[in-house]
Amino acid sequence: MRKLILGLFGILAAHAALAAPQLDKLTLPKGFHVAVYSDQVPNAREIALGAKGTVFVGSNSAGKVYALADSKGDGRADKVRVIASGLKLPVGVAFKNGDLYISAVSKILVLRDIENHLDDPPKPDVIYDKFPTETHHGWKFIAFGPDGKLYVPIGAPCNICDKDQDYAKITRMNADGSGLEDVAFGVRNTVGFDWQPKSKQLWFTDNGRDLMGDDMPSDELNRLTRVGEHFGYPYCHQGDTLDPEFGQGKNCKDYTPPVYKLGNHVAALGLRFYEGSQFPANYHGAIILAEHGSWNRSKKSGYRVMSVHLNGDKVVAYEPLLEGFQQDEKAWGRPADVQPLPDGSLLVSDDLAGAVYRVTYQKP
């Protein structure tokens, strides 16, 4: 427990002293390029796109929500506005019908008609305020599904504990905050999900528990095939390993295994399906995901952006797209989310450097 607490303090300290983006240390596959979209976004986390091209970014300990605008069309935000502040871990942002939805631990807030009021943002309306108040895994990535509902996870309020079905799950609600219902169980802490465009099925990352050693368990890439599926936590990890405490009397076969094991303690966060045409053809339909990076592993893992190439529901390749955020066990950046733009380029948020990057491709 002491190691866990010290690790969390280390994370907060790292965020308090933001590192500058070091693009010269980043590497990408041939033909890909990366540039700074904005370096004025402290604690940059989830990214959402407005109907008029505004890039909205939530934050963690900064307590702010940002609106980024590229009015010149040169691939760099020339204006960064703070449209909400003083919020509690407003990591999640989701845009629908002109309104920006924001997660703030126990609450879901909304800024109405926000793109027409970027210089004079309205006071956030509260549409739901009954989520748990614990901040341990209390920050929330949020997104609207193909069904028009807002999906909101409730992370486990601990490293490992059994809270029945009150925590460690994904819920959804109507856009007005009504009709809350459970969707998936046994999900320790998902901070990234998206829907496969053709199947409309939900795919999500899940962070594995800590304090089982450097190499156990793996973070997960999961796929929801039916409402009510259970993905194992806290009883079974990575689909095949019973928990030393809570796994007694359980069987991993009773739970849905991950589609793919992403790696030990890589802290897989935001993910999106890439449907653009700028990247090479083999990226079309692939999942792009951000690995925030380990915090308590003796040798760092993660700290990169990965591409997950699929054949149907099977992973056929899992490859780096953007890496170099840490060298010699020292990190200057931590990817948190990814978001394709209409032109086919890709935004990547970095909450350690307080920046958003833009990845582009030109055929060599």
CB within 8 Å of 56: residues ≥ 6 apart:
47, 48, 49, 50, 65, 66, 67, 68, 83, 93, 95, 100, 114
Q: Where are the domains of the chain?
A: 2-361
| Selection from 60, 168, 50, 181 nearest residue 118 by Cα | 50
User: Residue range 27-52: average pLDDT?
Assistant: 98
Residue 25 CB partners (closer than 8 Å, separation 6+)? 324, 325, 327, 332
**Structure tokens of 124?**
């956030």
Give the pLDDT of residue 18.
58
Higher-scoring residue by pLDDT: 214, 227: 227
Contact 167, 157 (CB under 8 A): yes
**Cβ neighbours of residue 28 under 8 Å, at least 6 residues apart?**
34, 321, 322, 359
Q: Which CATH homologous superfamily contains domain 2-361?
A: TolB, C-terminal domain (2.120.10.30)
What's the confidence (pLDDT) of residue 7? Answer: 46
Distance between CA 312 and CA 291 in Å, rounded? Answer: 23
CA distance 106 to 152: 11
Q: Which residues contact 52 (CB under 8 A, 6 or more apart)?
A: 115
How far is Cα 109 from Cα 296, in angstroms, rounded to an integer? Answer: 33
CA dihedral 188, 87, 108, 235 (to 10 degrees): 10
Count of CA atoms in the C-beta half-sphere (13 A) of 216: 11
Which tens digit of pLDDT belongs to each residue from 284-339? Answer: 999 999 999 887 777 887 899 999 999 999 999 999 999 999 988 899 999 999 99
| Residue whose tokens read 């010149």 | 72
pLDDT at 74 exceeding the cut of 70: yes
Tokens of 354: 């307080």
What CA–CA distance (Å, rounded) separates 288 from 309? 9
Closest CA to 189 of 135, 243, 143: 135
What pLDDT does residue 214 have? 75
User: What pLDDT is attached to residue 296?
Assistant: 79
Compute the distance between CA of residue 259 and CA of residue 229 in angstroms, rounded to an integer.
14
Q: Residue 1 pLDDT more than 60? A: no
Task: Provide the percentage of residues in the chain whose pLDDT is more than 90.
Answer: 87
In this predicted model, what pLDDT tens digit does every residue of 126-159 receive, in sequence order? 999 999 999 999 999 999 999 999 999 999 999 9
The Cβ of residue 249 has, within 10 Å, a number of other Cβ atoms equal to: 7
